[in-house]
Structure 1
Amino acid sequence: MTRAITELSGVVSTVCDEIDTGGDRAMTAAPVLPRSTWDELVQVWQNLDLPNNGWRAEIIEESIVMTPPPGYGHNVIADRVHRALARVIPENWGIFQTAAVEIPLRSNLFIPDLVVIPMDALPSDDDPVPVPAGRALLAVEITSKSNANRDRNEKLWGYAHGGVPLFLLIDRFAKDEPSVTLYSGPSDGRYRFQHKVPFGEPIALPEPFDFTLETKEF
């Protein structure tokens, strides 16, 4: 279950309980807010009173979407990927599960399930200031039943527009079989390359990671 909130003329209101991305529709159009309006929306996001620390709030095409904590299957995969990344990245990079990245051009602010960001790209204070998406080196999303299409569509599109060089989509609920897809080479709002493997097969992450992620325990 997810909940979406829109901010219009300073008024926040609940608009729906479930988000249907609309498939291809989500890949072809998105609103673009003026910078001043975007900053106001981010301020609303920063001041949200979430039910508890496990909930996440993101801005997806002008709507603030709140998502409850994921289940253990999701968390186990996140833990395994985190451990694998921690073994290969340098100490001056961080792996985060609650860091927000923003793509103002497309009115998006995402909190990836995992994101790798150089430490020197992080904000200097404790305020929940989003990091420009282009400073991330890798974003990872793990699908849940309630938001799988959002990860496959809006987030794929958003990360490409934001210039995230590598996007790893771990799709537990893919139509044919669970799969892992690595998207790379963002250009003009799309990823030029993708490599997909089913759960159980390894997938190689290129430079600057240069390692193979095992998926047999997903």
Structure 2
Amino acid sequence: MTAMAHEPPTQEEVLLEGFLALDTPEGFRAELIEGEIVVTPPPGGHHEKCVSRIIRQVIKLSQAEMDISGNRGLRLKPAEGLPSDRLIPDITFAPLEPDVFGDDNESWMPCEGVAMVVEVTSTRPQADREAKRRCYARGRIPLYLLVDRESAQITLFSDPENGDYREHCARPFGKPLTLPAPFGFDLDTSDFL
């Protein structure tokens, strides 16, 4: 009987295995974004104020009830030649039915059924503006809301196709931004100033 030769792991497999084995300090987030491991520190007060204001408005004004998470990791379709992206949005919104947040045994959920993800810029704003936008579009997440604190504007990206969003609508802080169905209300950004 001959021993079967095992194929050595690919670079993508080694990267993903290393990422999944990370032990990040409490409060820090580790993400795998287009083949790069990114660790970010806990967010500051203004960041969390923006997150809170968005969640409060969605709960109060949205046409559809939403499940909300700020800690659930998403497994997204990778760029060619890379392992699957693993992102943790600042906020993830999904309709109550079907339950897309899944069971407790899965750390990284698929993105099917997610209605909108939100990122509030912090230590790496360029990643939120570009790499994360592409990751969410490859995952076919219908809406990506970017609160860009550096440029003092909010942008809604929609209509994902071919690895990016085809539509976007930007408003300066202080001006309302219309969120389409299933949300169906004007998001007040005056508290972001």
Superposition TM-score tier, normalisation by shorter sequence: 0.7 to 0.9
- Matching of residue 206 in structure 1 with residue 185 in structure 2: no
- 1:163 aligned to 2:136? no
**TM-aligned CA deviation for residue 126 of structure 1:** 3.9
**Cα RMSD over matched residues?**
2.3
Is the 1:181–1:194 Cα contact (8 Å) retained in structure 2?
A: yes
Task: Name the structure 1 match of 2:112.
Answer: 134
Question: Per-residue deviation at 1:10?
Answer: 9.5
Q: Secondary structure at the match of 1:160?
A: helix
| Structure 1 residue 193, shift from structure 2 partner | 0.9
- CA drift of 1:64 comes to 2.1
Q: Distance in 2 between matches of 1:168 and 1:114?
A: 9
Q: Distance in 2 between matches of 1:158 and 1:46?
A: 18
Deviations 1:142-198 (Å, cap 9, x if unpaired)? 011x21000001011111111010000100002xxx100101111111211111100
Q: Secondary structure at the match of 1:181?
A: strand
TM-score calculated relative to the size of structure 2: 0.83
Q: Secondary structure at the match of 1:135?
A: coil
Instruction: For residue 212 of structure 1, report the CA deviation from its aligned partner.
Output: 0.9
Matches within 5 A, 1:182-193: 182-193=156-167
Structure with the greater alpha carbon radius of gyration: 2
Q: In the alignment, which of 12, 34, 56 is matched to residue 61 of structure 1?
A: 34
Equivalent residue for 1:99?
A: 72
Residue 136 of structure 1 and its aligned partner are, at CA, apart by 1.2
Amino acid at match of 1:68: P
Structure 1 segments unaligned to the other structure (5+ residues): 1-8, 12-32
Q: Which amino acid aligns with 2:114?
A: A
Asked whether the 8 Å contact 1:86–1:95 carries over to 2, the reply is no
1:35-46 aligned at under 5 Å gives the runs 37=13, 41=16, 44-46=18-20
Q: Cα distance 1:89–1:99, how it changes in 2: closer, same or farther (>3 A)? A: farther
- Alpha carbons of structure 1 residues 94 and 55: separation in structure 2 relative to 1, 3 Å: same
What displacement does 1:131 show?
1.8
Contact kept in structure 1, 2:142 and 2:160, CA below 8 Å: yes
Partner AA of 2:147 in structure 1: I
Deviation at 1:132, TM superposition (A): 1.8
Give the alignment partner of residue 86 of structure 2, picking from 76, 86, 109. 109
**1:77 partnered with 2:50:** yes
SS at structure 1 position matched to 2:94? strand
Q: Distance in 2 between matches of 1:85 and 1:205?
A: 10
What is the CA deviation profile of residues 35-85 of structure 1, one whole-angstrom value per residue up to 9, with x for unaligned ones?
A: xx28x71x5444422211x11111112232111101101011111111111
Partner residue in 2 for 1:25: none
Distance across 1 between alignment mates of 2:101 and 2:34: 24
Query: How far off its partner does 1:108 sit?
Result: 1.3
The 1-side partners of 2:51 and 2:104 are apart by 26
Indicate yes or no: 2:111 matched with 1:124.
no
Name the SS for the 1:78 alignment partner: helix
Rounded to whole Å, the distance in 2 between the matches of 1:206 and 1:143 is 22
